[in-house]
Every structure is written in C-alpha cells, then in structure tokens.
Structure 1
C-alpha cells in the first residue's frame, strides 16, 4: 500500500509488500525491503536501506547512507544524520550466520542521531534525546538526554526543540520548563 502522493525516485527500489504514507519522499538509490512500514511525510535520503520488517513513524528524516535493519523502530519525527550506523547483532562474525540473533532497537519520538554516530543494537533511545555526531551509544538513553563521546555519556539535557538546557532547565527557544525527577530522568513540566 503506497499512498498516491508518495515520491519515489526512478533509481530507488521498493519491494512488496510495504506501506508508505502520504507525502513521503524516497530519493536516489534507496532500497525499501518487504514488510517495511513508512509513515506520512518522511524523507529517505540517497542510498538509504530500510528493512525488511522496519517501522518508520510519521515525519522521520533519514539522511544519506543510513541502513535500518530488521527490528528497528523509529517513532515519529526521528532524525537520523548522514551515515549514522545501527548495528544488528552484538558479536558479528563473517563466517557465522546470525540473522536469527538480530536485537531490536527502539528510537522514541523526536530523537536526533548525529552524523556518523553508532547505535549498538538492543537499546532504546529516549524521546527527544540528542546523540552527538560520532558518538557510540552502548546503553539505553534517557528522554531529553544530550549524549556525546565513545562510549556515549550524558553531558547535558535538551528540550523538545533541540536547544541545550541550562541549569534552570528552561528551554531558551520555547520557554518550556523541565524538571529532574531522579538520576538521569527529566520531564517536561510546562511552557512559560
């Protein structure tokens, strides 16, 4: 099922069956494999591979050279920077078939993954978190966490708009207020 106003570049391959929502754009040399669901108003950049059995929510932007393997779920409005990497098994070997060992990876609503970052499979990236370019995520990431380094560590908090929060935990762009509710836990309280 592909909505009528989906754009698929002539160099892209879209296997069947797939679901692609209205307003989605699939660019040069993309391959969408069977049983993949892509929401509305998404953009899959040049040389993206998605599937099989991948779920991409509404409004996601997947930049060039990203591969999304079986078991990856991107909730709505996730941004995947150019050449970011999702692994699919924890101990890969070329001479051992491990396709039955793919670990699921969940990327929650509004998360951003920077260019060339690596996400080790089997982890959850929290809502509206931001993974710095080149970081290597080796554990679950809290909502709103700003993560950087190898391995990635929380170096601060970001608001829903992506702005870094100061010690007052007020978003400088929107005025939204946040509160820490425990170690490595942040919640949205109210807008100013």
Structure 2
C-alpha cells in the first residue's frame, strides 16, 4: 500500500501493495482494497467492502458495509454509498467463451461507472456498467440503475425511474429550471 501512515487500516482489513489510501481515511475490518485502487483523503470504507483494482474513490466519501466497487468505478468527492450497494463493470458478463474456455481479465470489456460529487447511492442499489450519476443525485435503496441519472435527480425502483429533484442539502425541490431551495437558499439549475 502507498499513502499516508495517518490512514487507519483495521488489522483484519486487506489493503494490497500498490493500493493508495489517503490521509485520514479509515478502512474497517474485512474490507479488501486491491492493488491499483486509489482512495482519497478523509474517507470511510466500511466492513466487508471490496474496492477493486482501477477504482477511484474521491476525498471524503463514505462507503458503507459490504458495498462492492468493481474495476472502472469512479466516485467523486463526498459520495455516499449505502450498505451492500453494487457497482458492476461488464455489460455482457460471461465466465467462458462459446467454445468453453475460461475468460480472462483481458477478455472483459469494462464499461466505467462515474458517480459525480455529492451523490448518494442507497442501500442494496445496483448500478449497471457504463452509467453516469450526476452531482448531488440520490439513488433510492434497492434501485437498479440502468441509465444515466441527471444532477440533483432522485431515482428509485427497478429499473430506476425519476422520482423528483433534490438540493445538495437533501431537501426535495418541486420546480425545474432555475430554482432556489426553500430549506437552505441554494440557487441552482435543473435541466
């Protein structure tokens, strides 16, 4: 592992050589951070989380217990990932070729997932390969996200569908276009 001695790594966590963990980050028991993963500063990686190779976790993210972040996942700053959320990476997964030969890592066609700053992913949600989730968007618990999610959108269900809009502070917003949040006064545009 490369990074700061100021990161806390639980003795029962596995952080492979070649992984980077930032200052002030906590990696809890039974988490597995693979070589080539990069975790920013001030993050919390919960128990049983998998952070695969070529995953980037931005600063101040919170990844709850048993979440699975597979190769190609990119989390911006301040992203919340609920317990048991899954980020897939292969649109057409297979274990073997049509001839019966095992597939290798080189055979995978990884489609990255991007989660922009401040977004929240609910418990047990599944995000399908190739999706982009906009800044401050909110994905409901148990949702299956198959398409891009706009910034500030609330999505829920299987498959995930628009359920409204949300401010960065978490308050629901009832308008579209240029809006001012009634809770915190923040002004932003919904398109």
Same fold (TM over 0.5): yes
Shift of 1:172: 3.3
What is the alpha-carbon distance in structure 2 between the residues aligned to residue 98 and residue 123 of structure 1?
Answer: 24
Shift of 1:159: 0.5
In structure 2, the partner of 1:23 is: 24
CA contact (8 A) 1:78 1:111 kept: yes
SS in structure 1 of the partner of residue 155 of structure 2:
strand
SS in structure 2 of the partner of residue 147 of structure 1:
strand
When structure 1 is superposed on structure 2, of 87-96 and 17-26 the one drifting more is 87-96
In structure 1, the partner of 2:91 is: 90
Query: Are 2:73 and 1:72 equivalent residues in the alignment?
Result: yes
Residues paired across the two proteins, number: 181
In structure 1, the partner of 2:147 is: 139
CA gap of 1:8–1:125, structure 2 versus 1, over 3 A, is: same
Shift of 1:157: 0.6
What is the alpha-carbon distance in structure 1 between the residues aligned to residue 183 and residue 7 of structure 2?
Answer: 33
In structure 1, the partner of 2:48 is: 47
In structure 2, the partner of 1:5 is: 6
Query: Are 2:189 and 1:179 equivalent residues in the alignment?
Result: yes
SS in structure 2 of the partner of residue 162 of structure 1:
coil
SS in structure 2 of the partner of residue 156 of structure 1:
strand
- TM (norm. structure 2) is 0.90
Query: Are 2:45 and 1:59 equivalent residues in the alignment?
Result: no
For structure 2, the 5+ residue unaligned runs are 98-102
What is the alpha-carbon distance in structure 2 between the residues aligned to residue 170 and residue 154 of structure 1?
Answer: 20
RMSD: 1.4
What is the alpha-carbon distance in structure 2 between the residues aligned to residue 18 and residue 122 of structure 1?
Answer: 24
Shift of 1:4: 2.0
Shift of 1:98: 6.4
In structure 1, the partner of 2:180 is: 170
In structure 1, the partner of 2:115 is: 107
In structure 2, the partner of 1:189 is: none
- TM (norm. structure 1) is 0.89
What is the alpha-carbon distance in structure 2 between the residues aligned to residue 68 and residue 18 of structure 1?
Answer: 14
Shift of 1:81: 0.3
When structure 1 is superposed on structure 2, of 85-94 and 41-50 the one drifting more is 85-94
For structure 1, the 5+ residue unaligned runs are 186-192
